């Protein structure tokens, strides 16, 4: 019979506490949001495919898709899609800045993280104002 190991696995391997242990920080929120929005955009390709196939069909399929996207629920989904896309783009920009080796100081990284939320919100509002003006 083998004796139980003198140092069990848990003691030999470094352990890090899980997510809920940490106090929320802007960088953490931005990181999670980046991953979440990425996954949402993954599903969002189905919306794009639906619209493009409807447009590639006949006038009835196009009008059906248009009516769906013009309904209040459709508009809400498109508004959410706009914000999610803008937030992910802001995240991409933030990562590009960090990849360049800039913005790692405590203040700068928090500012970049909060700024990506603010930037996405501003861009979303601006785009929707433009869409209401031209429609």
The residues that touch other proteins, with contacts defined as CB under 8 A, are 9, 12-14, 35, 38-39, 41-42, 45-46, 48-49, 52-53, 55-56, 58-59, 62-63, 85, 89, 92-93, 95-96, 99, 127, 130-131, 134-135
Whether the Cβ atoms of residue 65 and residue 54 lie closer than 8 Å to each other: yes
Q: Is the dihedral of CA 66, 76, 128, 116 positive or negative?
A: negative
* Rounded-to-integer distance, Cα 7 and Cα 66, Å: 65
CA distance to 49, 73, 81, 82, per residue, from 76 (Å)? 18, 5, 8, 10
Shortest distance in whole angstroms from residue 1 CB to other proteins: 19
Whether the Cβ atoms of residue 44 and residue 81 lie closer than 8 Å to each other: yes
Shortest distance in whole angstroms from residue 15 CB to other proteins: 11
Among the listed residues 99, 108, 107, 117, the one whose alpha carbon sits nearest the alpha carbon of residue 32 = 117
Which is closer to other proteins, CB of 95 or CB of 111? Answer: 95
């Amino acid at each position: 019979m083998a004796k139980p190991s003198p140092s069990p696995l848990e003691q030999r391997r470094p352990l890090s506490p899980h997510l809920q242990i940490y106090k929320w920080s802007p960088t953490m929120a931005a990181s999670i949001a980046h991953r979440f929005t990425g996954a949402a955009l993954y599903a969002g390709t189905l919306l794009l495919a639906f619209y493009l196939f409807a447009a590639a069909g006949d006038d009835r399929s196009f009008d059906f898709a248009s009516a769906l996207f013009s309904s209040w629920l459709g508009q809400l989904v498109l508004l959410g899609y706009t914000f999610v896309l803008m937030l992910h783009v802001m995240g991409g920009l933030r990562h590009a800045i960090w990849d360049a080796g800039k913005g790692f100081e405590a203040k700068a990284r928090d500012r970049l993280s909060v700024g990506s939320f603010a930037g996405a919100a501003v861009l979303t509002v601006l785009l929707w104002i433009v869409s209401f003006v031209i429609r």
